[in-house]
Amino acid sequence: MTTPTPRVDGRTARAERTRKAIVDAHVTLITSGDLRPTADRIAKTAGVSLRALWSHFADMEALFSASAQRILDQRDQSFTPIPAELPLAERIERYCARRARINEAIGPAARASALKEPFSPALQRFRRHHLERIRDEAATLFAAEIGDDKVLLDAVVAVVSFNTWDTMRNPMELAVDDARNTMRRAITALLGSGRGA
């Protein structure tokens, strides 16, 4: 005997589509360079009314939280671990190439977030979560070199973080390849001082 497929209420499905359209619009505006999109611009891009926007999100803080989660989810979909048994130089090369791609991809969203983050507990929470993910990956990938050296791990996280990348790409005006090579050289120097050196 087959179990009947549960029916999705039409209103619930429409509400989910509307909510998704609003988050999509917010992320699209940010990633296209509109670092401070207004509720009106978000609603127009989503093709909904302002009333619909506010019926799905109590305030901009709630929308920031949903959009930040969407960006993290998109990153997770394309994530594949780098094998920890590879030689150190290859692990560093792959890791820095990935961090460069991610930092370039999240650039507009990270800059938009930075404008609101001092006043947004949700964005502060997502930033900490993002840094913890970087920390966990580095600690796993370079376990042989880092061991339990927290200071070394902190240094690696600082070097590959978006803020460092953004400094290289903008005030320092480095091209992507040059910034990636700078990151790789710094990580190589740091891990060469670790316990597995």
Structure tokens at 32: 């296209």
Place of tokens 């179990």: 3
Structure tokens at 74: 């998109």
Structure tokens at 98: 């990935």
What percent of the chain shows pLDDT beyond 90? 59
Q: Rounded mean pLDDT of 88-98? A: 97
User: From CA 93, how far away is CA 114, in angstroms rounded?
Assistant: 29
| pLDDT reported for residue 119 | 86
Residue type at 6 in one-letter notation: P
Q: Which 8-state DSSP code applies to residue 81?
A: P
Rg over alpha carbons for the chain, rounded to the nearest Å, is: 20
- What are the CA-CA distances from residue 12 to residues 7, 15, 20, 141, 157 (Å)? 11, 5, 12, 43, 42
| pLDDT reported for residue 18 | 93
Structure tokens at 76: 């997770």
Say whether domain 9-59 belongs to CATH 1.10.10: yes
| 30-66 residue pLDDT tens | 888 888 899 999 999 999 999 999 999 988 888 888 8
Query: Max CA-CA distance within the chain?
Result: 67
| 144-192 residue pLDDT tens | 999 999 999 999 999 999 999 999 999 999 999 999 999 999 999 999 8
On the CB side of 185, CA atoms within 13 Å amount to 6
In sequence order, which residues have a C-beta less than 8 Å from that of residue 172 and are 6 or more positions away? 179
Contact in structure between 87 and 43 (CB atoms under 8 Å):
no
> Is the pLDDT confidence value at 2 over 60?
no
Q: Which 8-state DSSP code applies to residue 173?
A: -
> Is the pLDDT confidence value at 8 over 70?
no
Q: Rounded mean pLDDT of 2-17? A: 72
Does the pTM surpass 0.95? The reply is no
Give 156 or 110, the one with higher predicted confidence.
156
